[in-house]
A and B are shown apart, each in its own frame.
Chain A
């Protein structure tokens, strides 16, 4: 007997929280708003945990709930429904768990902000959409969640909407995501046209019998490429990554939740969910892997030069997402999802810790003005250390296991290649380098800022406020630098523990997700070795250990280099930058990609829109038309009013004239 999990409660409870806080939160006290926000996300997580305990008892390994029909058009039908298998269960737990922890953190972080209720309303709304996305049973319900998280991201990035730069960043995120969504939609249209269904179960059942398109073109390849475009937008890959660094204008919990742990992983989840299609389109898989590798490398190079602590973490996110893309591209979906999970832990932690540092320093975001905070904010220091070591890939923390798995699969999978592995390795080295650079600059050395001197900071000292428009410069509370309150530290500690132990579930994780991707292996094997049936990834245990050692060595050399440049000989980085001035400036300015886009796309659109559409059509045609008709009416009435002269004789004249006309007409009719 299939138990009823009431999956619908899991997204609906945060939606209720969002509605209550949104509609009535203005009148609530802060405590009440926090209670509503926290309880709805906690309830979602608790339900997720309960479902997780009940799930293994299901024999079939998947569970479906359908509520209501949505679209019916001939043979095509779409229902509102939720779907639970191992993959969505993992995502559900990650999203609701990390989401709840970040809700908890936000209580402390946003306590002194205006619009407190609005923040929690939007956060809960985001949870609702994200949970809909991961629990969806068909592409269209997933698309609801897809668009919804974009909306929530826009609302939250532009949370301090009175600041121009935040509002523009929100707009940029939404518009760039839209470009990706366009690709996603076209893919959906193709699916509807050729397979007649968007429901995962029936759609994949009709795709499974098809063989792989080894010639590199065809229907499935096109669909896969278009899905990839959608994922590029949401998961910030080249060329649609430009919104993520700007999204750091939002409050730090938003960066942690949406732009590190959950929303940006939606693209990866979608690709993993569509693995049936990608398995049969090796060309598309190759493009995904190439794109992921390039993005990882590219973003890591930018991350080395950035001075804003949040921007470093943003580029780091883009880079790690590139790793996940690479994993999915070489059909190592389990590795990709594993890295997604560990990344949620340590990147979420890193962002929260960065927020904690900023909170302690009263909004300072520039790492050049930090330093020596190790002794002043020890709680933040130790948690951030755990996160930094995790992301660098140093054993035995979580990042080592997941990143190493990806690198191994990039090398050894039937679709992999040593090029992917090499670039991934260099990227791992750079990741380790810039993360430890961040670590050293923030916590070691002497304090380079000027916080203890004055409350009101002179302009030009901190290039970006951490988004405290109302309380700029006063966050130091006037009594020295102190660590964050417990409500902020506890989530960080929990995430630090998870970053430490999260990787140890490596093998059980793979076994857990295996049923979902079982047929991947068979397709890949059939394509690589049409005769034999053995997957080459199972061989080469020795090679795997060798590669593992090399990657650990890369991480440790990154640590050493960072220590050298930022602890031992701090004058060196400037000299190197002066020496490679041209290259350094280019990388510092993010390879001028934003400027390129602005000139290539934005400026022509805005110009065209202003000159052609606004001045040309709206003003000169439509407005002129309306004005002209009004003018015409006025002219006509101006002319006609001369008839009303008040002179009796002219009236009589008109009457006589008219009467003559009528008589003439009647005679003419009578005579005819």
Chain B
């Protein structure tokens, strides 16, 4: 019972944040709504027993990625959105298409819903077990992902540096 209640609370917070993201015109408001969504999702993960995932959701997603978004919005001085209509296709084909897809999936879920229920804390995801998996069964993806992050850092630095920066860096260095 409590489980259901908590689920609903967090779920509504997620939904409200998501809808607010769509509705708001200023990007900073959308960013803050997204933070709300991520926080609520962390609660959902806890309900499912995935404590490690919930922790890194808060630390990495809400704490690092969203902060990055906010910094960029501040850096670029993004203002309110203008009303331009660039593409009719997106509105005419895309939104109905998405709606149809969503309805279909929902129908499928309702139709084929089994009575499987998930208990709170069903599968405890403690860091030790996940660590064991990471460094034994999923070692290769782990290492590859670390290289990916390295490349992403270099790429981001190269792309975002002002033009002429490397030249003057070379001159000084």
Chain A interface residues (CB < 8 Å from chain B): 645, 647, 649-650, 652-661, 663-664, 667
A667 lies within 8 A of B104 (CB) = yes
Contact B97 A650 (CB under 8 A): no
Query: Are A650 and B90 in contact (CB-based, < 8 A)?
Result: yes
* Closest-CB distance, A79 to chain B (whole angstroms): 77
Residues on B with C-beta less than 8 A from A660 are 97-98, 100-101, 104
| Chain B window 15-52, contacts with chain A (Cβ cutoff 8 Å), 1 for yes, 0 for no | 00000000000000000000000000000000000000
**5 cross-chain CB contacts under 8 A:** A649-B86, A650-B90, A653-B89, A653-B92, A656-B95
* Separation of A135 and B91 alpha carbons in the complex (Å): 89
Q: A115 to B38, alpha carbons, bound, how many Å?
A: 96
Known: A657-B93, A663-B105. A650 touches B86 (CB 8 A): yes
- Complex contact A653–B93 (CB within 8 A): yes
B94 contact set on A, CB distance < 8 A: 649, 652-657
B87 at the binding interface (Cβ < 8 Å)? yes
How near does chain B come to A650, taking the closest CB pair, in angstroms? 4
Let me know if B90 and A663 touch, CB within 8 A.
Answer: no
Does B165 interact with chain A (Cβ within 8 Å)? Answer: no
Please give me the 3 A-B residue pairs with the lowest Cβ-Cβ distance, nearest first. Answer: A653-B94, A653-B90, A650-B87
Chain A residues, Cβ within 8 Å of B118: none
Q: With A652-B94, A654-B93, A667-B108 as given contacts, are A659 and B101 in contact (CB-CB < 8 Å)? A: yes
- Chain B residues near A663: list those with CB within 8 A: 101, 104-105
Say whether A659 contacts B86, CB under 8 Å.
Answer: no
Residues of chain B with a CB closer than 8 A to A658's CB: 97
B34 to chain A, nearest CB (A): 19
CA–CA, A368 and B133, complex, Å = 120
Do B101 and A656 have beta carbons less than 8 Å apart? yes
The A interface is mostly helix, strand or loop, or mixed, namely helix
Residues of B near A652 (CB, < 8 A) are: 90, 94
Q: A653-B87, A653-B89 are in contact. List 5 more A-B contacts (CB 8 A).
A: A649-B90, A650-B90, A653-B97, A654-B89, A657-B93
B105 closest partner in A (C-beta): A663
Contacts of A649 in B (CB 8 A): 86-87, 89-90, 94
Q: How many residues does chain B have at the interface if contact means C-beta atoms less than 8 Å apart?
A: 17
Q: How far is the CA of A608 from the CA of B95 in the complex (A)?
A: 63
Q: Is the CB of B98 within 8 A of A656?
A: yes
With a CB–CB cut-off of 8 A, which chain B residues contact A657?
A: 93-94, 97
B residues in contact with A656, CB < 8 Å: 93-95, 97-98, 101
Secondary structure type dominating chain B contacts: helix
Question: Is B98 within 8 A of A650, CB to CB?
Answer: no
Residue pairs across A and B with CB atoms within 8 Å: the count is: 55
Task: Give Cα distance in the complex from A139 to B94, angstroms.
Answer: 80
In the assembly, what is the distance between CA of A645 and CA of B100, in Å? 25
Determine the chain A residues whose CB is within 8 A of the CB of B97 once the complex forms.
653, 656-661
Residues of A contacting B101 with CB < 8 Å? 656, 659-660, 663-664
B86, B91, B95 — most chain A CB neighbours (10 Å): B86
Q: Judging by beta carbons under 8 Å apart, are B91 and A647 in contact?
A: no
CB-based contact B100/A653 at 8 Å: no
A645-B98 in contact (CB<8A): no
Rounded to whole angstroms, the CA-CA distance of A650 and B90 in the bound complex is 5
* A contact residues around B88 at 8 Å (CB): 650
Which residues 47-101 of B have a CB within 8 angstroms of A? Answer: 86-95, 97-98, 100-101
CB distance from A640 to the nearest CB of B (A): 14
On chain A, the residues within 8 Å of B100 by CB distance are: 660, 664
Distance in Å from the Cβ of A659 to the closest Cβ of chain B? 6
Report the bound CA distance from A652 to B90 in whole Å.
7
Roughly how many angstroms separate A401 CA and B108 CA in the complex, as a whole number? Answer: 115
Q: Which residues of A contact B93 (CB under 8 A)?
A: 653-654, 656-657
A235 smallest CB distance to B (angstroms): 81
B86, B91, B95, B97 pick with most chain A CB within 10 angstroms:
B97
Among A655, A658, A660, A663, find the residue whose CB has the most chain B CB atoms closer than 10 A.
A660
A246 to B79, CA, bound (A): 95
Q: Are B86 and A664 in contact (CB under 8 A)?
A: no
Smallest beta-carbon distance A449→chain B, Å: 91
The CA of A661 and the CA of B100, in the complex, are separated in Å by 9
- Among A653, A661, A663, residue most surrounded by chain B Cβ atoms (within 10 Å): A653
Q: Mark B100-111, 1 if CB is under 8 A from A, else 0.
A: 110011001000
Chain B residues near A655 (CB-CB < 8 A): 94
Q: Are the C-beta atoms of A645 and B104 separated by less than 8 Å?
A: no
Task: Note all chain B residues with C-beta closer than 8 A to A650.
Answer: 86-90
CA distance A663 to B88 in the complex (A): 23
* B residues near A661, Cβ cutoff 8 Å: 97
Please judge, given known A-B contacts A654-B94, A656-B94, whether A647 and B86 are in contact too, CB under 8 Å.
Answer: yes
Q: Which residue of A lies closest to B108 (CB)?
A: A667
How far does the alpha carbon of A130 sit from the alpha carbon of B36 in the complex, in Å? 105
Query: Chain B's nearest CB lies how many Å from the CB of A664?
Result: 6
* A645 partner residues in chain B, CB cutoff 8 A: 87
Closest A residue to B111 by beta carbon equals: A671
A613 to chain B minimum Cβ distance, whole angstroms, is 50
Q: Is the CB of B87 within 8 A of A647?
A: yes
Most A-side CB within 10 Å, residue of B94, B104, B105: B94
Cα A288 to Cα B95 with chains together (Å): 93
CB distance from B102 to the nearest CB of A (A): 9
- Complex Cα distance, B101 from A660, in Å, reads 5
Q: What is the minimal beta-carbon distance from B125 to any residue of chain A, in angstroms?
A: 30
CB distance from A646 to the nearest CB of B (A): 10
Q: Complex Cα distance A217/B163, Å?
A: 104
In whole Å, how far is A641's beta carbon from the nearest beta carbon of chain B?
Answer: 14
How far is the CB of A665 from the nearest CB of chain B, in Å? Answer: 10
| B 104-137 binary contact with A (CB < 8 Å = 1; else 0) | 1100100000000000000000000000000000
Complex Cα distance A660/B86, Å? 22
Contacts of A659 in B (CB 8 A): 97, 101
